[in-house]
Amino acid sequence: MISIPKLKHADSGNFFLMAGPCAIEGEEMALQIAEKIKDITDRLQIPWIFKGSYRKANRSRLDSFTGIGDEKALRILQKVSQQFEVPTVTDIHETSEAAMAAEYVDVLQIPAFLCRQTDLLVAAAQTGKVINVKKGQFLSGESMKFAVDKIVESGNPNVILTDRGNTFGYSDLVVDFRNIMAMKAHQVPVVMDVTHSLQQPNQTSGVTGGKPALIETIAKAAVAVGADGLFIETHPNPRVAKSDGANMLPLDQLEGLLQKLLKIRQAIAA
């Protein structure tokens, strides 16, 4: 595991977790989710990074929720980090956002659709932050070598790769677990984005669908094949979440899921 400031339980031998809401909807909601996840991960000794997007740039419709304001949301992420002593991760979408977001968070995330954008990868690398690059839905695990190279050759060795499935037809994704092993061959930590891989994008309604009933299935398989980390978006009430509610895990189900996943982790380590 690469070094991430404020990451607790990094020597526990467990997988690490990136978890939180899809988008920062407000301070109270973010703090509520963070407090719950911190309690769970401390008891289970799971390294945890709080996830929250300060802005949602990739939306199906013009009237879709995009955020509460960049600085306001970033300050909430900063407060979560300070109050709970946990590292945070958020997406960036343009080169100009890299330095701005880096002032508030510990990990910068490159969205899957942007993983080939050289200028964006270089700008992120130059902040010196840990960079989490999501594998494009249109790419193989092997081809993510070039994203790693762009960041490392820009002077930053702190790279994480995350799989989130591959496009299957027009409105579905499938997970090819061979990609976990292919990306681990690049000598970087590899994460399975469990919830986004269960999206059903490009619905005629303009609202992305999902198959949250399969969260446990995808997560179990990812741990079994050796994923270093899991990415799980969670919310107290996904039905009212302002972004990606169709594929998020209800917050009250997180602990039970993690307990099952730890048993698999312990089994494969034996």
Domains within the chain, CATH numbers bracketed:
16-269 (3.20.20.70)
Mean pLDDT of 191-201: 90
What pTM did the predictor assign? Answer: 0.94
Instruction: Average the pLDDT over 130-142 and give the result.
Output: 97
Pick the residue with more confidence: 91 or 56?
Answer: 91
3-state secondary structure of 199: strand
Contact 109, 91 (CB under 8 A): yes
Q: What is the mean pLDDT of the chain?
A: 93
Rounded average pLDDT over 139-164: 98
Q: Say what the pLDDT of residue 82 is.
A: 98
Average pLDDT of 157-174? 93
The pLDDT-based confidence of 2 (bands split at 50, 70, 90) is confident
> Mean pLDDT lowest for which of 62-66, 90-94, 103-107, 222-226?
62-66
Residue with tokens 């702190």: 158
pLDDT computed for residue 63 by the predictor: 57
Q: How many C-beta atoms surround the C-beta of residue 219 within 10 A?
A: 25
Residue 256 pLDDT exceeds 90: yes
Sequence-distant (6+) residues with CB within 8 A of 124 are: 92, 98, 108, 110, 131, 151, 156
pLDDT tens digits, one per residue of 211-248: 889 999 999 999 999 999 999 999 999 988 887 778 89
pLDDT above 90 covers what percent of the chain? 82
pLDDT number for residue 95: 97
Please give the Cα distance from 87 to 5 (Å, whole number): 6
